[in-house]
């Protein structure tokens, strides 16, 4: 029997990026419920459909947008199959991503997904032969509609069993991987962003019914809009350690990092390393008003991580060079190691023994040399090849091509290495 289509989208209008906050449970304040979805405060979960026929609903997150890498985890419940009717329970839930969002899709066999576009990971608990379903409960990666199965697997072991199960859906570099209870069950290539930005979870019932609910939702990854492949692993670890400041959420990590942004990176490193919150006294810089990193700039100046370009200016939008990055990260280490250390009274000893000078050593400012070689010694920063460090641009041609400027992903990778390689956590 063909069932009407319906919807329930628990969608996270996430970043892109990402995400809400790294490795952080999604807040109720970020959620907008649609249709028949509601929050059960007594039980602490979101009901997508009650155990009734012809229900559909949606749950959307409004803080972030995503059209790239992401990872969504949650616990889900698909009810039970021993209803006293010919349908034995139905219809299922679907994680929708790169979707239109903000709506409820089709109910019944549509699982609240049909009509939302994009991709989905469905856990379908009713056999609709006209949709190309398998006879068993199944899990599938679908595109545009639930009947367009890109990959499908048996879901009998983790659906309609009165139990909660853990689902993880991640899409990285156009490869979608699905895990249930920690076991990989599906993987599909060429799952590419499509210019739609919403991600969430949908559910519906038709002539059959089931309670569909979710809890413990976490949206991670997708904190960055773009990154080089070499940086993937370190960016993930940096996110896990909460080293990525919110000012970089949704940004292209391959582009140059500004002085303001790096102040935020350095302060995140200091605060995570020490487990403290740095003071943010008012600074004399007149050019940081309205800057998203204003508070971090004040903190960084107080800690001695950075100073201004004059007594009253900081030049927050100026990009930083590789030698500046090395110097400022080293100052974080100094301040962590000796809380009494200050930038004006800097007699901190840095062991650089055993590190051979770079061929362009003469281009490194004297103030930065100990930091550069200290960072090299501890494998936090490297040269660029041919025994060159590339501390800064020194010719008009180098300036024109942005030579020696540090990128966001380089800064975050070096922040992570500082924490990991210098005795941090």
285-322 pLDDT, tens digit per residue, is 999 999 999 999 999 999 999 989 999 999 999 999 99
> Lowest-pLDDT range, 184-198, 224-238, 398-412?
224-238
Q: Please report the pLDDT score of residue 24 as a whole number.
A: 46
List 405's β-bridge partners, or say none.
321
**Nearest-angstrom CA–CA distance, 252 and 266:** 19
Q: What CA–CA distance (Å, rounded) separates 215 from 75?
A: 5
70 band by pLDDT with thresholds 50, 70 and 90: confident
Total number of domains in the chain: 2
Classify residue 233: in a domain, yes or no.
no
Q: pTM (2 decimals)?
A: 0.57
- Give percent of the chain above pLDDT 90: 67
Residue with tokens 């304040």: 29
Computed over every residue of the chain, the mean pLDDT equals: 87
pLDDT bracket for residue 247 (50, 70, 90): confident
Average pLDDT rounded to a whole number, residues 210-234: 81
Which of the pair, 425 or 323, is modelled with greater confidence?
323
Confidence grade of residue 54 (pLDDT, cut at 50, 70, 90) = very high
Q: Can you give the pLDDT at residue 172?
A: 78
Residue 327 and residue 253 share a domain: yes
36-49 residue pLDDT tens = 999 999 999 999 99
Reduced to 3 DSSP states, what percent helix, strand and coil does the chain have, rounded to the nearest 5?
25, 25, 50
**Is the same domain home to 275 and 345?**
yes
Residue 80 lies in a domain: yes
Longest dimension (CA), the chain: 83
CA 110 – CA 321 distance, rounded (Å): 53
For residues 198 and 250, membership in a common domain is answered with no
Q: Which helix (H) or strand (E) holds 425?
A: none
Identify the weakest region by mean pLDDT among 75-79, 239-243, 335-339.
Answer: 239-243
Which residues on neighbouring strands pair with residue 361, listed in sequence order?
A: none
Which residue is listed with tokens 């199959």?
81
**Would you state the structure tokens that stand for residue 372, as one six-digit string?**
């550069």
Whether residue 235 lies inside any domain: the answer is no
> For the ranges 80-94, 128-142, 145-159, 352-366, which has the lowest average pLDDT?
80-94
Residues 127 and 258 in one domain: no
Between CA 334 and CA 242 the distance in angstroms is 21
Q: Are 31 and 13 in contact (CB under 8 A)?
A: no
Residue 64 clears pLDDT 70, i.e. is over it: no
Q: State whether residue 415 is helix, strand or coil.
A: helix
Note the pLDDT tens digit of each residue in 375-412. Answer: 999 999 999 999 999 999 889 998 888 898 999 999 99
Same structural domain, 287 and 325: yes
DSSP-based three-state secondary structure for 366: coil
What's the mean pLDDT in 214-218? Answer: 92
280 and 416 together in one domain: yes
Check residue 2 and give its pLDDT.
Answer: 35
Q: Work out the pLDDT band at 11, boundaries 50, 70, 90.
A: very low
Residues 263 and 300 placed together within one structural domain of the fold: yes
Between the two ends of the chain, the Cα-to-Cα distance in Å is 58
Q: Which two tokens stand for residue 162?
A: 């009165």
The C-alpha atoms of residue 17 and residue 217 are separated, in whole angstroms, by: 16
- What tokens does 346 get? 């800097």
Asked whether residue 232 is assigned to any structural domain, the reply reads no
Whether the per-residue pLDDT at 235 is higher than 70: the answer is yes
| Domain extent for 18 | 5-220
The answer to the question of residue 237 being in a domain is no
Please determine, for residue 425, whether its predicted confidence score (pLDDT) is greater than 90. no
Residue 366 forms part of a structural domain: yes
């Amino acid at each position: 029997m063909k069932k009407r289509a319906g919807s329930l989208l628990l969608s996270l209008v996430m970043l892109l990026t990402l995400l809400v906050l790294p490795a952080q449970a999604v807040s109720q304040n970020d959620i907008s419920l649609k249709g028949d979805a509601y929050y059960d405060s007594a039980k602490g979960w979101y009901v997508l459909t009650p155990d009734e026929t012809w229900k559909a609903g949606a749950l959307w997150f409004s803080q972030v947008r995503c059209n790239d890498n992401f990872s969504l985890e949650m616990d889900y419940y698909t009810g039970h199959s021993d209803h006293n009717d010919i349908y034995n329970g139905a219809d299922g839930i679907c994680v929708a991503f790169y979707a239109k969002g903000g709506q409820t899709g089709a109910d019944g066999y549509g699982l609240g997904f049909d009509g939302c576009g994009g991709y989905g990971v469905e856990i379908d608990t009713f056999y609709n032969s006209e949709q190309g379903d398998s006879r068993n409960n199944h899990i599938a990666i679908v595109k545009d509609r639930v009947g367009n199965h890109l990959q499908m697997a048996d879901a009998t072991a983790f659906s309609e069993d009165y139990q909660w199960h853990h689902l993880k859906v991640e899409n990285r570099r156009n490869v979608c991987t699905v895990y249930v209870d920690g076991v990989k069950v599906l993987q599909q290539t060429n799952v590419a962003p499509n210019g739609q930005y919403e991600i969430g979870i949908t559910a519906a019932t038709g002539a059959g019914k089931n309670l569909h609910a979710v809890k413990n939702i976490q949206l991670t990854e997708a904190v960055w809009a773009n990154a080089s492949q070499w940086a993937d692993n370190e960016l993930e670890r940096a996110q896990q350690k909460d080293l990525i400041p919110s000012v970089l959420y949704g940004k292209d990590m391959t582009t140059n990092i500004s002085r303001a942004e790096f102040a935020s990176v350095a302060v995140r490193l200091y605060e995570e390393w020490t487990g403290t919150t740095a003071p943010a006294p008012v600074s004399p810089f007149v050019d940081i008003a309205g800057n998203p990193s204003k508070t971090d700039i004040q903190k960084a100046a107080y800690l001695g991580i950075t100073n201004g370009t004059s007594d009253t200016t900081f030049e927050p939008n100026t990009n930083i060079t590789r030698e500046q990055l090395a110097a400022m990260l080293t100052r974080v280490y100094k301040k962590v190691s000796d809380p009494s250390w200050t930038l004006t009274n800097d007699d901190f000893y840095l062991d650089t023994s055993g590190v051979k000078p770079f061929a362009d050593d003469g281009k490194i400012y004297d103030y930065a040399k100990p930091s550069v070689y200290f960072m090299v010694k501890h494998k936090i920063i490297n040269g660029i090849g041919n025994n060159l460090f590339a501390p800064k641009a020194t010719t008009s041609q180098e300036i024109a091509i942005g030579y020696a400027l540090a990128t966001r992903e380089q800064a975050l990778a070096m922040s992570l290495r500082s924490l990991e390689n210098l005795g941090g956590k």
